[in-house]
Amino acid sequence: MAGDLPLTRNPAATEKAEAIRAAVRGATQMGESRLARPEDAAGLYALLADPKVFAPIYSLPRPLTRETVAAFIDHHLAERETGIGLLFVREGEDGRILGYSDVQVWPHWGAGELGGALHPSLHRQGAGGRGAGLSFAWMYDTLGLDLICETASLDNVATQRMLDGLGFRRLGEVTSVRPDGTTRASLVWEMTRAEWAARHDAS
């Protein structure tokens, strides 16, 4: 995640921030996805090792190995305990992990960010856009967020189109820092809870 996100910073009341933390600590499911567990390391690594999945995502561990993926899961479990992060996985009928969702939360700003990816077999079917829309709605409704901030690399046209199509506002460019300290330029979008409700609740 970029260190200067979200761009819009409206301090949340203490009670609001604590309610968000409690909601994060209590979350076990997001739609069809469940919390990632330590024993998911091999299956999640198998998904992430595909360059079509791994390449566009700056927040994944580098180097990507089964061990670093296991640490990635453990880190998110620790974040859940403090109410600032969640990692979900989506399983297929055969038990393979076919997708993951990485939820990062700034309770003091009432804001969050969603990252993730699907197995290449599910690409170009509209599943990513539908899933992201449901996940954003869950973040507003279940976690109680007032703002969602998203980023995408300059060449990630699919994510750019998805965010534009969902009504997120483009706010320029930021520098995203990878876990290994390297950086990449990212476009940034935001949408408030009120903007989401006006666009999507009536549809």
- Per-residue pLDDT of 30-42, as tens digits, reads 999 999 999 999 9
**Does residue 201 have a pLDDT over 80?**
no
In a domain, 46, yes or no: yes
Type of residue at 189: W
Range of the domain at 55: 14-146
What is the rounded distance in angstroms from the CA atom of residue 9 to the CA atom of residue 32?
Answer: 31
In a domain, 4, yes or no: no
Q: pLDDT tens for residues 21-31?
A: 999 999 999 99
Say which CATH number the domain at 124 has.
3.40.630.30
Closest by Cα among 148, 156, 151 to 178: 151
In a domain, 127, yes or no: yes
Number of domains in the chain: 1
In a domain, 97, yes or no: yes
Q: pLDDT tens for residues 49-93?
A: 998 888 888 899 999 999 999 999 999 999 999 999 999 999 998
What is the rounded distance in angstroms from the CA atom of residue 58 to the CA atom of residue 111?
Answer: 20
Query: Tell me, what DSSP letter sits at residue 92?
Result: -
Q: pLDDT tens for residues 137-181?
A: 999 999 999 999 999 999 999 899 999 999 999 999 999 888 888
Report how far apart the first and last C-alpha atoms of the chain are (Å, whole number): 31
In a domain, 163, yes or no: no
In a domain, 189, yes or no: no
In a domain, 1, yes or no: no
**23 Cβ contact list (under 8 Å, min separation 6):** 83, 142, 143, 144
In a domain, 122, yes or no: yes
pLDDT of residue 1: 45
